[in-house]
């Protein structure tokens, strides 16, 4: 895939090898230009002004939602714009748990990012709900979910793809099981939506959250999809601004969905940038992106396995994310040290707990090194990282 030339970050940082797209992706000039264009030509607030500029801005914002809905195969009124996936997941957690009764249960998994773990954990505590955690097996699959479901289980919140290991959950099957048991599903799609075709009608989940900055778009925009009939019933999470229809001293009426959940001035520029990112991704094709990243992953697994002392945390089913550690005579070389050595060679990888401390505890390591791919990565990047890891191991010999 010959797209590196579209990404100014590589022109401005000669020799950069960027392997941390799970944390955030780089943006092509098409996205950057669309945002600049908005600020240069159209900046004005939406849904308010009765003047051309505001109408244009409103149209760009609403068009972005239509594009997003068509990208995911859902309706535009089912798409809520938030500031990131964390806020989207908090919105789902706050609003959904406020309708539960004492003793009702929320199920999450050991492989969740903190953003899809801590909100449920904390809200279950403060609202006297039961918080249960599905375990992860040695091959990074989930233990039998059916055995964890009880009559009290009302919500199942889990990730599509683990950001810490790249492990892929069979969301379609899991949602089918949840639907049969009247359990609401909240899917963290942060590591899947940027990399594979998402068809929400086919997955049949109730809620689906992700962040635009991980899919070539700008920072400051998150998405929460919710099924229309559920959003209609759900209480708002934040109050003020566009989410209001009518305010009296004694009470307030709220706007229709999705605006009922969008308080205050939204990030219109990011919505415009997201439209450009979707166009860019669609031009390449999500199926081609998944296939390309899978090739990179297979190549990287082969190359990395040649590095002496490496332990790769290999899931049964894996997306374009590889987590590993380097050992020297059974002694862990701290991932931060590994990544610092690589940084000297202009190679950006991730080291740390990846906001998945429950999983790190399970692996009995404080942290791992992680490389994650996107369309601008190449096999040469992988060759260079494998060589650099061999050298890193020598440094800590």
Residues that bind ligand PLP (CB under 6 A): 22-23, 84-86, 113, 115-116, 159, 163, 188, 190-191, 211, 222
Q: How far is the CB of 215 from ligand PLP (least distance, A)?
A: 11
Beta bridge partners of 131: 106
Q: How far is the CB of 292 from ligand PLP (least distance, A)?
A: 20
Nearer to ligand PLP, 96 or 388 (CB): 96
In the three-class reduction of DSSP (H, G, I as helix; E, B as strand; rest coil), residue 20 is classed as strand
Nearer to ligand PLP, 190 or 307 (CB): 190
Residue 250 burial by CB count (10 A; 0-12/13-18/19+): exposed, middle or buried?
exposed
Q: How far apart (Å, rounded) are the C-alpha atoms in residues 353 and 164?
A: 8
Q: How far is the CB of 162 from ligand PLP (least distance, A)?
A: 7
Active-site hit among 74, 124, 175, 355: 355
- H-helix or E-strand containing 205? none
Nearer to ligand PLP, 189 or 309 (CB): 189
351, 223 in Cβ contact below 8 A? no
**Which residue, among 341, 344, 366, has the nearest Cα to 356 in the 3D structure?**
366
Q: How far is the CB of 352 from ligand PLP (least distance, A)?
A: 11
Q: Which residues contact 145 (CB under 8 A, 6 or more apart)?
A: 107, 134, 156, 174, 177
Q: Which residues contact 223 (CB under 8 A, 6 or more apart)?
A: 68, 79, 80, 81, 82, 85, 88, 193, 208, 209, 210, 211, 212
Query: Given its phi and psi angles, is residue 241 left (phi above 0), alpha (psi -120 to 50 degrees) or beta?
Result: left
Q: How far is the CB of 88 from ligand PLP (least distance, A)?
A: 8
Nearer to ligand PLP, 85 or 231 (CB): 85
Q: How far is the CB of 113 from ligand PLP (least distance, A)?
A: 3
339, 350 in Cβ contact below 8 A? yes
Phi, psi of 13 (to 5 degrees): -135, 80
Nearer to ligand PLP, 115 or 377 (CB): 115
Q: How far apart (Å, rounded) are the C-alpha atoms in residues 313 and 131?
A: 27
Nearer to ligand PLP, 87 or 242 (CB): 87
Q: Which residues contact 4 (CB under 8 A, 6 or more apart)?
A: 10, 376, 378
- Residue 68 annotated to the active site: no
Q: How far is the CB of 210 from ligand PLP (least distance, A)?
A: 8
| 151 Cα distance to chain centroid | 30
**Which residue, among 218, 347, 342, has the nearest Cα to 272 in the 3D structure?**
218
Number of H helices, E strands in the chain: 14, 16
Q: Which residues contact 374 (CB under 8 A, 6 or more apart)?
A: 21, 25, 26, 194, 195, 216, 293, 320
Nearer to ligand PLP, 26 or 191 (CB): 191
Residues with catalytic annotation?
355
């Amino acid at each position: 895939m010959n797209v590196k030339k579209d990404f100014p970050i590589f022109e401005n940082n000669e020799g950069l090898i960027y392997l941390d797209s799970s944390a955030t992706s780089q943006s092509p000039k098409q996205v950057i230009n669309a945002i600049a264009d908005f600020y240069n030509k159209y900046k004005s607030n939406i849904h308010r002004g009765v003047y051309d500029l505001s109408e244009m801005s409103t149209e760009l914002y609403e068009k972005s939602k239509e594009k997003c809905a068509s990208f995911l195969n859902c309706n535009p009124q089912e798409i809520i714009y938030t500031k990131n996936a964390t806020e989207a997941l908090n919105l789902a957690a706050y609003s959904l748990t406020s309708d539960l009764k004492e003793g009702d249960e929320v199920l999450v998994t050991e492989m969740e990012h903190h953003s899809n773990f801590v909100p449920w954990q904390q809200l279950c505590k403060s609202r006297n709900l039961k918080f249960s955690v599905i375990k992860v097996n040695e091959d990074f699959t989930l233990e039998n979910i059916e055995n964890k479901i009880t009559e009290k289980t009302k919500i199942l919140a889990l990730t599509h793809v683990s950001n810490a290991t790249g492990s892929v959950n069979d969301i379609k099957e899991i949602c089918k099981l949840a639907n049969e048991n009247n359990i609401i599903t909240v899917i963290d799609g942060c590591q899947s939506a940027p990399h594979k075709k998402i068809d929400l009608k086919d997955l049949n989940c109730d809620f689906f959250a992700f962040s635009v900055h991980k899919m070539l778009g700008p920072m400051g925009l998150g998405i929460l999809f919710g099924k229309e009939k559920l959003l209609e019933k759900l209480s708002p999470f934040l109050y003020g601004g566009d989410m209001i229809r009518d305010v009296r001293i004694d009470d307030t009426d709220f706007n229709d969905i999705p605006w009922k959940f969008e308080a205050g001035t939204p990030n219109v520029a990011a919505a415009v940038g997201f439209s450009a990112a979707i166009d860019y991704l669609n031009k390449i094709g999500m199926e081609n992106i998944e296939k390309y990243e899978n090739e990179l992953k297979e190549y990287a697994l082969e190359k990395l396995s040649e590095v002496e002392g490496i332990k790769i945390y290999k899931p049964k089913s894996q997306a374009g994310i590889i987590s590993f550690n380097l050992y020297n005579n059974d002694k862990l070389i701290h991932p931060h040290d590994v990544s610092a050595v690589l940084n000297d060679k202009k190679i950006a990888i991730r080291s740390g707990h990846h906001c998945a401390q429950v999983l790190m505890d399970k692996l009995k390591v404080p942290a791992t090194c992680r490389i994650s791919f996107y369309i601008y990565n190449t096999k040469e990047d992988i060759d260079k990282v494998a060589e650099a890891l061999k050298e890193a191991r020598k440094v800590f010999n």
